Structure formats: C-alpha cells, structure tokens
Amino acid sequence: MEFDSEDAARKFYVEYARRLGFVVRIMQRRRSGIDGRTLARRLGCNKQGFSPNHRSIVGPDKKPRPSAREGCKATILVKMEKSGKWVVTRFVKDHNHPLVITASGFSTAVSLLILHHSLFVHNHL
C-alpha cells in the first residue's frame, strides 16, 4: 500500500484504528542526516510497550497508577521511497488486549469528553 504523503499515511492509520477500536501513538521517526526530512515513521497502538517504573522519581507520597500499556505489538511502518511516495513496509495487526468499539466510532474517552463538554455548556448558558 502506498500514500502520497506521510500525513496521508498517518490519517489512514488513525481512521483504521478508530474503526477497529484502538488509539494510535506516534512511536518513532527516522530523519535524513543531510536535510532533516522524515524518511520513515512508525505508528502503533497506544498500548504498545510497557511504562517504566517512575515511583522513585515521583516520590513516595504519590499514588501509583495502573499502566495503560500492555505490550501490544500492533504497528505500521511507512517509509518514503525515492519516488516520493510513502510505502507500508511493515504491518502488524494483532492486538493482545480487547478493542473498544463504540456506536459513534469514537473511543470511550472521547465520548466521555464530548458528554462532559455538552453538560458543562448546558449548565453554564
């Protein structure tokens, strides 16, 4: 699969993720050492990897919170070819966690944010 731009590839994967029920996180970017332009971009599920333990950095009085990351492997890697097109060179579709699909196509967090905003506006007008 190929795209005309990095942004088109990102938009495609974000829409794919929304329909499947996960959120995209920008994982990595490789730049040219000559002119600094982006040559490759890796995007993945926001549950990819594991969070480091920051307990000693934050302090003992802070309440530990559960990590949102679960070691998910779902990812896409796009690279810019010499033609200027962006080509998918790696695609892993498998998730190791349940996906959250809502009727509206928004994630649960976004749906709650929209509801909260609607209630706030309604109560303050």
Tens digit of each residue's pLDDT (9 = 90 or more) over 35-82: 988 899 998 887 666 666 655 555 566 666 655 666 788 888 999 999
39 in a domain, yes or no?
yes
* Percent of the chain scoring above 90 in pLDDT: 23
pTM of the model: 0.64
- Please count the CA atoms within 13 angstroms of the CA of 10 that sit on its side-chain side: 14
The whole domain housing 26 covers 2-99
35 in a domain, yes or no?
yes
> What is the residue type of 75?
T
Strands (E), the chain: 2-3, 24-31, 38-45, 75-80, 86-92
31 in a domain, yes or no?
yes
Q: What is the Cα–Cα distance from 70 to 51, expressed in whole angstroms? A: 9
66 in a domain, yes or no?
yes
